[in-house]
Chain A
Amino acid sequence: MKRVLLILSASRVSNSCVDGALDAAGGENAELVVLFILDTAMPHDVQERMSDAGFLGEAPSGRLLRAMRRELKRQGISELAEVARAAEKRGITHRTELVEGEFLSRALEAAQTEAPAVIFVAKRERAVLSRLVSGSRAEELKDAAPCEVKIHEGGDS
């Protein structure tokens, strides 16, 4: 059975991306695999900033990190449930998975293990300058993935 892989994260949620994946899976009669990545980069960036610019020690910034991770996990579970409901409604065979780690490496791992026909991913919403300097993980995924990658702009939800 063909597979469509939809990759989401807290900062990469897009209605058009989810709809695109549902349409593709429904149209091709493929299995929809929905992967929510609890991206460790953002909470760590915030924690680092707390420590670096806020000069708070390990204890308060660690508490903050734990609170952020709990929240991201809660949002991941909720987002996966919402996509699963939509897939069920359209009679699409689906599977959901929540993983934690660096976005690009976890996405590439999933691209290898699931061997999908197409990957749907949303770009993280960022300032233009930041994207110019740091590049885009979604674009990097497109370059490195063994299959077609459809990128949607993030933040349209």
Chain B
Amino acid sequence: MTRRKTLSIVIAFAVCAGIVLAPTPDGLTREGQNALAIFALCFVLWVGNALPLSVTSLFAIVLLPTLKVLPASRSFELFGSPVVFFILGAFILAAAMMRSGLSTRLALAFLRRFGGSPRSLLAGVIFSGGFLAFWMPQHAVAALMFPIVLEIAHALDLQPVKSRYGRALFLALAWGAVVGGVATFLGGARNPLALGILSQHYDMSITFVEWVVAVAPFSIVLMGCAYLLLLRGFGVDVEDVSRARDVLDQKAKALGPVSRREKGVGIVMFLTIIAWVVSGRVMGLASISILAAVALFVFNLIDWKSVEEDVNWGVILMYGGAIAIATALHESGGARWIAYVAEDRIAGLPPFWMLMVFAVAAAFLTEAISNVAAVALMLPICFGLMEGSGVSPISVVFVVAVPAGLAFSLPMGTPANAIAYSAGYYRLRDSFVAGAIFKIVALLLFALVVKLYWPILGLGM
């Protein structure tokens, strides 16, 4: 075990024990205090990456009844949240897209359409990654695009670090997937997780269409901003991309004609999206997602072995645990107490600025911690802080979940960044500086969306 991991575990337990053993402050129940201790423990373990994320979640599930925050039956039943099954179905759909080759075909089709000049190829990497991340997890998109972008770099003879275009290309790979991942429930599982926490707290929901209408335009404009920023920040030191175009053509040719399996997966995916749009509220997103997964097996489009190889089942533990922690903070009064303590500092802030404080906090927290963990930790507290302000909890979900997906600077922020960085075409300082500038641009754009666009949709402050 590394020094960092050992240190994280020691600090996590020390903080947890310190909070449990401290006298209970006025206005906080014993259950609330213990919930905050578990919250702090998870926070430190998640930030320090001391244990696998899902193991930390599992640990929290056990601690909740042990420290008498929630009854054991309540704690464990949160694993059965519909959101967990929605995410599971979405991962199986993504596995089918990857296994059938449909996702690679879509990525290549996009890139070939854009690959006429260095500038358009750069745009192609951003937009094809972004578009794919609308429909499958952003990490999977980055992993899928990684070998393609590497081959482009080799074809263009781009030198790691030395080539400015190479730096831009690999940052485009990460940023496209990240920005696309905020637009739907499929790109980042933190979005449905936020939905699950909303449902546990307020018995409210957001439909697939409502999410897409509220966030997709922001995501698309942000992809354009990424393109401009990379062009301006790194420039183009390549004149001709015809060799890259040849590589893309060869790869597309090697795929052959569209297979029966690809067509089948495409049809199931299309019908699933239609069902989410048309009857998501009636049937529930999770039921549709699981039905789609079943359909893939019925029509022999994927087998169980492939699903087992493509999906890490820790996903169930992670999301079940994250919902349990958020619910425990809410039901024990822990979140309300933090809100009460913080009230003096933010009292008097207009709702818009409070929402922006949440957005900035989420956007920066996500650089150091898994974005799922950022949502699980922040959302219950933000709900508590906004109680009585007249702001809809739905708006709070958006201002936490969307910026929590915008990790641009550090490899530890999201696997998409780690993948792109691992190729060695850009240095940490490149992504740190460019990512910080892009983050500011993204937050400014997000503020405009919250202030000007969302009120048109009826998302009140």
What is the interface of chain A, defined by CB distance below 8 A to chain B? 10-11, 13, 42-43, 45-46, 49-61, 63-64, 67-68, 71-72, 74-75, 125-127, 130, 133-135, 155, 157
User: How many angstroms from the CA of A49 to the CA of B54 in the assembled complex?
Assistant: 12
Chain B residues with CB under 8 A of A74: 154
* Besides A46-B419, A50-B143, A71-B423, 14 other A-B contacts (C-beta < 8 A): A46-B415, A52-B49, A52-B53, A53-B53, A53-B139, A55-B91, A57-B95, A58-B309, A60-B140, A68-B422, A126-B428, A133-B7, A134-B2, A157-B162
B331: Cβ under 8 A from any A Cβ: no
Q: How many Å lie between the Cα of A10 and that of B412 in the bound state?
A: 18
Complex partner residue of B410 from A42, A56, A127, CB under 8 angstroms = A127
Contact of A50 among B4, B95, B419 (CB under 8 A): B419
Residue of A nearest to B307 (CB): A57
CB distance from B323 to the nearest CB of A (A): 15
A64 lies within 8 A of B315 (CB): no
- Known interface pairs A60-B98, A60-B310, A68-B423. Does A75 touch B139 (Cβ–Cβ under 8 Å)? no
Main secondary structure of the interface of B (DSSP, over half): helix
Set of chain B residues within 8 Å of A134, measured between Cβ atoms: 2-4
The answer to whether A50 and B139 have CB atoms under 8 Å apart is yes
Closest to A50 in B: B415
Closest 9 CB pairs of A and B: A54-B139, A59-B309, A55-B315, A54-B415, A55-B312, A57-B310, A133-B4, A67-B147, A64-B143
Determine the chain B residues whose CB is within 8 A of the CB of A59 once the complex forms.
306, 309-310
Q: Is the CB of B310 within 8 A of A72?
A: no
Instruction: Return chain A residues, CB-CB under 8 Å to B137.
Output: 54-56
Query: Is the CB of B370 closer than 8 A to any CB of chain A?
Result: yes
Q: Does B281 contact A (CB under 8 A)?
A: no
List, sorted by A's number, 10 A–B pairs whose CB atoms are closer than 8 Å: A11-B424, A49-B412, A49-B415, A52-B314, A53-B139, A55-B139, A56-B139, A59-B310, A67-B147, A125-B429
Contact B161 A125 (CB under 8 A): no
Complex CA distance for A46 and B422, rounded to whole angstroms: 7
The smallest beta-carbon distance between B351 and chain A, in angstroms, is: 32
Within 8 A of A (CB), among B296-333: 306, 308-312, 314-315, 318
User: A33 vs B192: C-alpha distance in the bound complex, in angstroms?
Assistant: 54
**Per-position contact with A for B143-156: 1 when CB-CB < 8 Å, else 0?**
11011001000100
Known: A71-B150, A125-B427, A127-B410. A56 touches B308 (CB 8 A): no
Interface centre among A51, A52, A54, A68 (most CB of B within 10 A): A54
**Chain A nearest CB, measured from B156 CB (Å):** 14
Contact of A157 among B161, B309, B311, B423 (CB under 8 A): B161
B414, CB-defined interface residue at 8 Å: yes
B18 at the interface (CB under 8 A from A): no
